[in-house]
Amino acid sequence: MIKVKDGAASREPLPDFLYGLMPESVADLSWTDPSLGVQDVAWWPEENAEGELGTNKKWGAEVLTLDAERQVVLVSRKQVAMTAAEKAARDSAIAAEWAGRIAARRFQAETGGVTVQGIPVNTERDSQALLTGAAFAASLDPAYQIKWKAATGFVDLTGAQVIGLASQVRAFVQACFNREAELLGAVADSSITAEMLEEGWPQ
């Protein structure tokens, strides 16, 4: 409720002795006892009349406009231009938020697993490290063979298969980081969209 007096509106609280009255009762207080001092005052409900905030604008001072026919106060705020420093701070905050969302989505894709040579491979960080170590061992020993635990159970791999598996997993992981870099580029040129966050990840 907003106070109305002499054709002007102001944000002043409704007096305690008027609490509990219906809105139509406080819309015209000429019926009250003169000793209360509110006969020439009213409290009208407020109605938001703001539009969409413009580009590079910020909300400024509040504007209260009377709609006497409906006995409501239209509430809006002036739109003022942001300063260069404010725009830079806003853009920095938006970029940081996007960077966090993109990194989280890349990590989800990176560690979500991939199928290589028909073998479903766990790509969580620990598994990546184990596979890298196995590939290094295979590079030192041409006769290297291991039983590798895939998502569906153990598989026998030769040294060459281990190296091939590790190379393709490494390429998959790098592709995830490449996609992250592409999306950060879209943040930088302001072309990023929520849909893009779910697109283009390697599988």
pLDDT in tens, the chain (203 residues): 999 999 999 999 999 899 888 888 999 999 998 999 899 999 999 999 888 888 888 989 999 999 998 999 999 999 999 999 988 898 899 999 999 999 999 999 999 999 998 899 999 999 999 999 999 999 999 899 999 998 889 999 999 999 999 999 999 999 999 999 999 999 999 899 999 999 999 98
Residue 73 sits in the same domain as residue 113: no
CA distances 161 to 37, 117, 120, 150, 174, Å, are 92, 9, 14, 14, 20
pLDDT at 166: 94
Residue 20 Rama label (left phi>0; alpha psi -120 to 50; beta): left
Q: How far is CA 191 from the centre of its chain?
A: 15
Q: Are residues 28 and 110 in the same domain?
A: no
Residue type, 3: K
Max Cα distance, the chain (Å) = 105
- 182 is a domain residue: yes
Domain contains 106:
yes
- Residue 89 and residue 180 in one domain: yes
Q: What is the Cα Rg of the chain in Å? A: 33
Residue 32, helix vs strand vs coil = coil
37 three-class SS: coil
Q: Which of 25, 53, 81 is the last residue of a domain?
A: 81
C-alpha–C-alpha distance, residues 94 and 99, integer Å: 9
Q: What is the pLDDT of residue 20?
A: 87
Considering the domain boundaries, does residue 98 fall inside one?
yes
Q: Other CB atoms closer than 10 Å to residue 15's CB: what's the count? A: 15
Length of the chain: 203
The Cα 124–Cα 111 span in angstroms is 4
Indicate the residue among 81, 111, 142 that finishes a domain. 81
Quote the domain boundaries for residue 116: 84-198
Whether 203 is in a domain gets the answer no
- pTM to 2 decimal places: 0.67
Q: Residue with structure tokens 């509040």? A: 62
Domain ends where: 81, 108, 139? 81
Number of domains in the chain: 2
User: Is residue 67 located within the same domain as residue 101?
Assistant: no
> Is 49 part of a structural domain of the chain?
yes
Residue closest to 65 by CA, chosen among 77, 55, 56: 77
Q: What is the pLDDT of residue 54?
A: 87
